[in-house]
C-alpha cells in the first residue's frame, strides 16, 4: 500500500522563533492508527499545526508528502478539502454562526473538491441524522452557535462529529481526551473507533495513556523536545505508563 | 440577474471592479445646470407643477438653510463640499407626464432589471410593490392598483402631492421639520421626488412596499423624500435599496424619511444602503447625509428601523424614534461596514415621552481596511416617561490593524423609574477563528464572510427574507480585499 503521509526530517518553528520540531520522521499508511505521546511542551500541537498548515508556522528543513504531493504547496483550506482533518485541542467559538450551517458549508466545500454534488438543507439533515446515531451527540448541540457555551466535553464531541461528517483521509486528534470525564471519554472513543476505516489514517495526540485503553493504536510514538525518541506498538504506551518519559528523553 | 441582457451600459473600470452596480445608464435627461439659489427651488417646484403652499414651504426651508452651517460634531473627515457644484435636478426625459410601465423608457427598465429590481412582470413574481426613483424622479410604481383596492396609497411623492395634497400637507415636515438640521433643510428646499405611502386604519399591507433609489447622472445630488403613514392599527413593512454608478467625484445624497405610526400601528422600515463607496484609495463615492425619523403618535404604536449600511464614502445617518404614545416601542437594528477609506457615523436617537415606552438598540459596526466606524446613539427619557425602558447593545468588530471603531452613547434620563441598559463589546476577527474555518475547508473569503455574518446575525434576522440574502452577499462583497 502506498503511504498516505510521509514526514521527512521535519524542522519547524513559529515564524521568527527557535525550532520547535527538530527532525521528525514518520510514515503513515491508510487504515493505521498512530498514537503520538509526549510530555507537555514536546511539540505535539506544533506538529499538528504544521501538518494542517496553520499560518504563523514555518518549516525550516525537511518536508512532508501527503498522498504523494508536497504538502507545503497547499494552503490550510486546500489541505482540509483534500482530506486532512484536525480535531482541535481547543475548539474555537464562532458566535452567531449556527453549528449546522457551519458544518454544511464545510461539508459542501469538501464535497465540491471531491467532485460530489453539494447537499441541500434536506439532504444534509438526512446525512446528519445518520451520523448522529453513530455518535452519542445531542441534536441540541447542532442548533447552537459553533462551540459557543459548549462544555469541554461537548466541544470535543462536536469535533469528532465534524470528523464523522467530513470523512477525512487523515484525521489528527490533538488531545481529544484531555478534560473529559470518563463517560465523555468513552463516548468520544467509541465515536473514533467507529470511524476507523481501511481508507483512513488516524493520528491521536495525547499525553495520557488512558485514551489508548479505549482506542487501540497500531503504533505508538514518543515525541520529546521536537523529536520522536521511541516508536513501537501499544506495549510502548504501557511501558511509559510505568516508567514515565524521562528515561526516553535522556536516551535521545 | 440575467447575464444575457443586451445593455448599452458601460462598466466603468474605476479600479474597483467589485461594485457591480457601478454602471451608467445612457439616457436623455432634463437637467439643471449645477448651482443652487432660489430660482433652482422655483424651477424644481414649477417643473413638478406644485401648489403654491409647497413652493412657499420649500423657499422657507431654503432661506433657513442659507443661514445654517453643516454639522461638524460627527467623527467624520469631510473635505469642504461646494454646494454650488452639484446638480439639483436631473430626470429621464420620458418620465414627465403620466406614466405606466409600458411607457417607461426601455433603457430604464433594463437598468432596474440589471440591478435586480423587479419593475415589470418580475415584480408580480416577487410579490413586492416597488417605487423606483432614478436620479430626481420616480419612474415607476408597481402594484398601485392592487394596493388601492384596500385603500392603501403607494405612489411617488410627486403623485401624492397632486392626488392627496391634504395628506401630504398634514404630515410633511411633521416629524422632521425643515430646520431640523442642515441637510434636512437642504432636502426640504430641493427635494425632487421620493415615495409616499398611506395605510388606512386597520389595514395590514399585504405585501412589502419598496423604494429603490438609483443615482445615475454625474455631478447630480439626490434629494428624495419618503413619507410613510400607518393609520390606527395598520401595519406595513417597507424596504429601501440604493445604488449608484462608480464615479471619481463625490456625489451628494441628502434624503429625509418621515414615518408616522398612529395608535396600534406598526411600521418596519428596512434599508440596504449600497451607494458606491469610492475606490480603495478613497476616490469618489457617495456622501450620504440622511435624516430618518419616526413618530409613534398613538398608544402601542411601534416603529422598527433595520439598516445594513455597506456603501457610501461617508455615512451620516441616525434613524430615530419619538415615542409619544404610551406603551409605544422603538427599535433600531444596524449593521454598518466600513472598508478601505469609508467612514460611517451612524446610530439612533430614542426619545421617550410617553409612559411605558420601550426601545431596543442593536448596533453592529464592522471596520476593515482604513475604515472608520462610529456608533453614535442617544437615549432620552423625558420626565413624563414613567417606566420607560431602553436596552442598547453596541458591538464592534475589527478586521486588521489600520481601521477604527468608536462608540459614543449618550444617555439622558429625567425620570427615576426609567431603566436604561447599555452593553458594548469590541472584538477582532481572530486568527484562531479564521484557521478553524479554513481547517474545515472554507476559503479565507468564505471564512471571513461566515464570521462577519455570525456577528451581524441579530440584525440580519430582522430583515425580510429576500433582503437578508442580498445583505449577506453584500457584506461579503464589501469586505473583499480586507484579509490576506
Ligand atoms: N504561540 C506560541 N508562541 C511561542 N511559543 C510557543 C507557542 N506555542 C507553543 N510554543 C512553544 O513550543 C513548544 C511546543 O509546544 P506545543 O507544540 O504546544 O507542545 P505540546 O502540544 O506537546 O504540549 C513549547 O516550548 C511551547 O512553549
Ligand atoms: Mg498540545
Q: Is residue B339 over pLDDT 60?
A: yes
**Averaged pLDDT for residues A206-224:** 91
The rounded Å distance from CA A45 to ligand 1 centre is: 7
- Based on its alpha-carbon atoms, the radius of gyration of chain B, rounded to whole angstroms, reads 21
Classify burial at B448, counting beta carbons within 10 Å of its beta carbon; exposed 0-12, middle 13-18, buried 19 or more.
buried
CA distance linking residue A22 with residue B55, whole number of Å: 83
CA distance linking residue B13 with residue B5, whole number of Å: 19
Task: Determine how β-strand A3-14 pairs with β-strand B314-317.
Answer: unpaired
CB-nearest partner of B450 from A81, A88, A97: A97
Whether B431 and A55 lie within 8 Å, measured CB to CB: yes
Residue with grid cell 512532508, as numbered in its chain: A64
Query: Chain A interface residues facing chain B, Cβ-Cβ under 8 Å?
Result: 52, 54-56, 75-77, 79-81, 85-86, 88, 91-97, 102-103, 105-107, 109-110, 113, 145-146, 162, 166
pLDDT category at B9 given cuts 50, 70, 90 is very low
Q: Is residue B440 over pLDDT 60?
A: yes
Q: Is residue B171 over pLDDT 90?
A: yes
CA atoms within 13 A on the CB side of A88: 19
pTM score over 0.80: yes
Residue with grid cell 388606512, as numbered in its chain: B200
Which mutation among A36, A42, A206 tests ligand 1's pocket best, with the greatest number of atoms within 8 A of CB? Answer: A42
Distance, CA of B272 to chain centre:
7
Which chain B residues have a beta carbon less than 8 Å from that of A92? 430, 432-433, 435-436
CA atoms within 13 A on the CB side of A230: 20
pLDDT category at B282 given cuts 50, 70, 90 is confident
Q: Is residue B124 over pLDDT 50?
A: no
CB-nearest partner of B433 from A76, A80, A92: A92
Instruction: Give the pLDDT of residue A136.
Output: 75
Instruction: Give the pLDDT of residue B240.
Output: 85
Whether A166 and B440 lie within 8 Å, measured CB to CB: yes
Least confident of A113-117, B12-16, B284-288, B435-439: B12-16
**DSSP sequence for chain A:** --EEEEEEEEEEEETTS-EEEEEEEEEEETT-EEEEE--TTSSHHHHHHHHHT-TTEEEEEEEEEETTEEGGGS-HHHHHHTTEEEE-SSPPPEEEEEHHHHHHHHHHHHHHHTTPPPP-HHHHHHHHHHHHHHTT--THHHHSEETTT--HHHHHHHHHHHHHHH--SEEEEESTTTT--HHHHHHHHHHHHHT--TT-EEEEEES-GGGGGTS--SEEEEEETTEEEEEESHHHHHHHHHH-SHHHHHH-
CB count within 10 Å of CB B229 equals: 26
Q: Is residue B115 over pLDDT 80?
A: no
- Tell me: the pLDDT tens digits for A40-66? 999 999 999 999 999 999 999 999 999
The rounded Å distance from CA B250 to ligand 1 centre is: 51
Which mutation among A43, A89, A172, A227 tests ligand 1's pocket best, with the greatest number of atoms within 8 A of CB? Answer: A43
In this structure, which residue's CA is closest to atom 17 in ligand 1?
A: A43
By CA distance, what is B444's nearest residue in A? A77
Pocket of ligand 1 (CB under 6 A): A 14, 17, 20, 38, 40-46
Instruction: Give the pLDDT of residue B27.
Output: 60
Instruction: Give the pLDDT of residue A27.
Output: 97
Whether B441 and A52 lie within 8 Å, measured CB to CB: no
Instruction: Give the pLDDT of residue B85.
Output: 87
**Averaged pLDDT for residues B117-138:** 57
What are the b/e assignments for A220-244, b being 16+ CB within 10 Å?
bbbbbebbbbbeeebebbebbeeee
Instruction: Give the pLDDT of residue B32.
Output: 79
Atom of ligand 1 nearest to the CA of A49: 17
- Tell me: the pLDDT tens digits for B345-379? 999 999 999 999 999 999 999 998 899 999 999 99
The rounded Å distance from CA A15 to ligand 2 centre is: 18
Positive/negative CA dihedral, A135, A137, A143, A148: negative
Predicted ipTM?
Answer: 0.96
Least confident of A219-233, B26-40, B389-403: B26-40
Q: By the CB < 8 Å criterion, does B393 face chain A?
A: no
pLDDT category at B26 given cuts 50, 70, 90 is low
Q: Is residue B101 over pLDDT 80?
A: no
pLDDT category at A208 given cuts 50, 70, 90 is confident
Instruction: Give the pLDDT of residue A252.
Output: 45
Distance, CA of B293 to chain centre:
11
Instruction: Give the pLDDT of residue B25.
Output: 63
Report residue A148 as a C-alpha cell: 459557543
CB count within 10 Å of CB A43 equals: 24
Contact B377, B410 (CB under 8 A): yes
The rounded Å distance from CA A20 to ligand 1 centre is: 7
The rounded Å distance from CA A41 to ligand 1 centre is: 5
The rounded Å distance from CA A41 to ligand 2 centre is: 7
CA distance linking residue A231 with residue B215, whole number of Å: 71
Instruction: Give the pLDDT of residue B216.
Output: 63
Task: Determine how β-strand B343-352 pairs with β-strand B314-317.
Answer: parallel
Going edge to edge, which strands form the sheet with B137-141? Answer: B137-141, B128-134, B208-214, B235-243, B266-273, B302-309, B329-338, B358-367, B389-398, B419-428
Instruction: Give the pLDDT of residue B10.
Output: 23
Contact A201, A184 (CB under 8 A): no
Instruction: Give the pLDDT of residue B93.
Output: 62
Which mutation among A15, A39, A46, A224 tests ligand 1's pocket best, with the greatest number of atoms within 8 A of CB? Answer: A46
By CA distance, what is B436's nearest residue in A? A92
**Averaged pLDDT for residues A93-117:** 95
Least confident of B37-51, B73-87, B270-284: B270-284
Which chain A residues have a beta carbon less than 8 Å from that of B462? none
Whether B438 and A91 lie within 8 Å, measured CB to CB: no
CA distance linking residue B273 with residue B279, whole number of Å: 17
- Tell me: the pLDDT tens digits for A9-24? 999 999 999 999 999 9
- Rounded to a whole number of angstroms, the distance between the first and last alpha carbons of chain A is 31
CB count within 10 Å of CB B4 equals: 4
pLDDT category at B196 given cuts 50, 70, 90 is very high
CA distance linking residue A74 with residue A108, whole number of Å: 19
Instruction: Give the pLDDT of residue A217.
Output: 95
Q: By the CB < 8 Å criterion, does B428 face chain A?
A: no
Whether A88 and B442 lie within 8 Å, measured CB to CB: no
Which chain B residues have a beta carbon less than 8 Å from that of A52? 435, 439
Give the minimum alpha-carbon distance from B456 to chain A in angstroms, rounded to a whole number. 7
Whether B444 and A166 lie within 8 Å, measured CB to CB: no
The average confidence (pLDDT) of chain A is 92
Tell which B residues from 446 to 475 touch A, by Cβ distance under 8 Å. 446-447, 450-451, 453-458
Classify burial at A16, counting beta carbons within 10 Å of its beta carbon; exposed 0-12, middle 13-18, buried 19 or more.
exposed
Report residue B434 as a C-alpha cell: 479564521
The rounded Å distance from CA B147 to ligand 2 centre is: 65
Q: Could you tell me the maximum CA-CA distance found in chain B, to the nearest angstrom?
A: 67
CA distance linking residue A66 with residue A170, whole number of Å: 9
Residue with grid cell 407643477, as numbered in its chain: B49
**Averaged pLDDT for residues B443-462:** 91
Bigger pLDDT: B480 vs A111: A111
**Averaged pLDDT for residues B164-186:** 97
**Averaged pLDDT for residues B260-275:** 93
Sequence-distant (≥ 6) Cβ neighbours of residue B101 within 8 angstroms: B109, B119, B120, B140, B142
The average confidence (pLDDT) of chain B is 84
Q: Is residue B52 over pLDDT 60?
A: yes
Contact A63, A231 (CB under 8 A): no
CA distance linking residue A193 with residue A212, whole number of Å: 11
CA distance linking residue A115 with residue A218, whole number of Å: 32
In this structure, which residue's CA is closest to atom 11 in ligand 1?
A: A41
pLDDT category at A195 given cuts 50, 70, 90 is very high
- Tell me: the pLDDT tens digits for A113-142? 999 999 998 999 999 988 887 777 788 888
Amino acid at each position: 500500500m502506498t503511504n498516505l503521509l510521509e514526514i521527512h526530517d521535519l524542522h519547524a518553528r513559529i515564524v521568527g522563533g527557535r525550532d520547535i520540531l527538530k527532525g521528525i520522521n514518520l510514515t503513515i499508511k491508510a487504515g493505521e492508527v498512530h498514537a503520538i505521546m509526549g510530555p507537555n511542551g514536546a511539540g505535539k500541537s506544533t506538529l499538528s499545526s504544521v501538518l494542517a498548515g496553520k499560518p504563523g508556522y514555518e518549516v525550516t528543513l525537511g518536508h512532508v508528502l501527503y498522498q504523494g504531493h508536497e504538502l507545503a504547496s497547499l494552503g490550510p483550506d486546500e489541505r482540509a478539502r483534500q482530506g486532512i482533518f484536525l480535531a482541535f485541542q481547543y475548539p474555537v467559538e464562532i458566535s452567531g454562526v449556527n453549528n449546522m450551517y457551519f458544518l454544511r458549508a464545510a461539508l459542501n466545500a469538501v464535497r465540491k473538491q471531491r467532485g460530489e454534488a453539494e447537499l441541500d438543507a434536506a439532504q444534509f439533515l438526512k446525512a446528519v441524522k445518520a451520523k448522529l446515531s453513530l455518535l452519542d451527540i445531542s441534536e441540541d448541540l447542532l442548533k447552537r452557535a459553533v462551540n459557543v457555551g459548549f462544555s469541554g466535553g461537548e466541544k470535543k464531541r462536536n469535533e469528532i462529529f465534524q470528523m464523522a461528517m467530513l470523512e477525512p483521509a487523515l484525521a489528527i486528534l490533538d488531545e481529544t481526551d484531555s478534560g473529559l470525564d470518563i463517560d465523555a471519554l468513552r463516548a468520544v472513543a467509541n465515536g473514533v473507533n467507529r470511524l476507523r476505516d481501511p481508507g483512513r489514517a488516524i493520528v491521536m495526540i495525547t499525553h495520557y495513556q488512558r485514551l489508548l485503553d479505549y482506542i487501540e493504536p497500531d503504533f505508538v510514538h514518543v515525541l520529546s523536545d521536537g523529536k520522536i525518541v521511541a516508536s513501537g506498538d501499544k506495549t510502548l504506551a504501557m511501558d511509559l505508563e510505568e516508567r514515565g518519559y524521562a528515561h526516553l528523553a535522556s536516551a535521545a | 440577474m440575467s447575464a444575457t441582457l443586451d445593455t448599452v451600459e458601460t462598466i466603468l473600470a474605476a479600479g474597483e471592479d467589485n461594485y457591480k452596480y457601478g454602471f451608467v445608464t445612457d439616457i436623455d435627461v432634463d437637467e439643471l445646470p449645477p448651482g443652487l439659489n432660489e430660482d433652482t427651488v422655483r424651477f424644481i417646484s414649477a417643473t413638478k407643477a406644485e401648489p403654491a403652499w409647497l413652493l412657499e414651504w420649500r423657499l422657507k426651508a431654503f432661506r433657513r438653510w442659507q443661514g445654517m452651517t453643516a454639522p461638524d460634531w460627527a467623527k467624520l473627515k469631510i473635505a469642504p463640499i461646494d454646494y454650488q457644484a452639484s446638480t439639483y435636478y436631473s430626470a429621464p426625459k420620458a418620465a414627465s407626464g403620466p406614466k405606466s410601465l409600458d411607457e417607461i423608457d426601455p433603457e430604464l427598465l433594463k437598468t432596474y432589471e440589471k440591478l435586480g429590481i423587479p419593475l415589470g412582470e418580475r415584480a408580480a413574481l416577487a410579490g413586492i410593490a416597488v417605487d423606483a426613483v432614478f436620479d430626481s424622479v420616480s419612474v415607476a410604481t408597481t402594484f398601485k392598483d392592487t394596493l388601492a383596492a384596500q385603500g392603501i396609497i403607494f405612489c411617488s411623492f410627486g403623485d401624492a402631492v397632486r392626488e392627496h395634497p391634504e395628506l401630504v400637507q398634514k404630515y410633511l415636515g411633521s416629524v422632521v421639520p425643515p430646520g431640523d438640521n442642515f441637510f434636512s433643510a437642504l432636502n426640504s428646499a430641493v427635494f425632487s421626488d421620493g415615495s409616499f405611502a398611506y395605510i388606512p386604519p386597520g389595514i395590514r399591507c399585504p405585501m412589502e412596499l419598496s423604494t429603490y433609489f438609483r443615482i445615475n447622472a454625474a455631478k447630480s445630488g439626490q434629494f428624495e423624500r419618503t413619507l410613510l403613514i400607518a393609520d390606527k392599527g395598520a401595519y406595513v413593512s417597507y424596504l429601501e435599496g440604493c445604488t449608484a454608478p462608480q464615479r471619481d467625484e463625490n456625489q451628494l445624497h441628502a434624503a429625509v424619511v418621515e414615518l408616522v405610526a398612529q395608535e396600534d400601528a406598526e411600521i418596519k422600515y428596512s434599508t440596504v444602503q449600497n451607494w458606491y463607496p469610492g475606490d480603495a484609495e478613497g476616490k469618489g463615492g457617495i456622501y450620504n447625509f440622511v435624516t430618518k425619523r419616526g413618530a409613534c403618535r398613538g398608544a402601542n404604536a411601534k416603529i422598527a428601523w433595520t439598516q445594513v449600511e455597506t456603501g457610501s464614502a461617508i455615512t451620516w445617518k441616525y434613524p430615530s424614534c419619538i415615542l409619544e404614545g404610551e406603551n409605544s416601542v422603538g427599535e433600531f437594528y444596524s449593521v454598518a461596514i466600513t472598508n478601505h477609506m469609508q467612514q460611517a457615523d451612524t446610530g439612533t436617537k430614542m426619545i421617550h415621552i410617553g409612559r411605558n415606552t420601550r426601545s431596543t438598540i442593536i448596533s453592529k459596526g464592522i471596520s476593515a481596511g482604513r475604515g472608520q466606524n462610529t456608533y453614535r446613539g442617544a437615549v432620552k427619557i423625558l420626565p413624563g416617561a414613567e417606566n420607560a425602558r431602553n436596552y442598547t447593545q453596541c458591538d464592534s468588530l475589527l478586521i486588521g490593524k489600520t481601521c477604527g471603531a468608536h462608540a459614543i452613547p449618550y444617555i439622558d434620563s429625567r425620570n427615576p423609574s426609567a431603566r436604561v441598559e447599555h452593553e458594548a463589546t469590541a472584538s477582532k476577527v481572530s486568527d484562531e477563528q479564521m484557521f478553524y474555518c479554513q481547517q474545515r475547508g472554507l476559503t479565507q473569503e468564505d471564512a471571513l464572510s461566515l464570521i462577519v455574518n455570525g456577528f451581524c446575525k441579530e440584525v440580519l434576522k430582522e430583515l425580510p427574507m429576500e433582503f437578508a440574502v442580498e445583505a449577506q452577499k453584500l457584506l461579503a462583497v464589501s469586505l473583499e480585499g480586507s484579509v490576506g
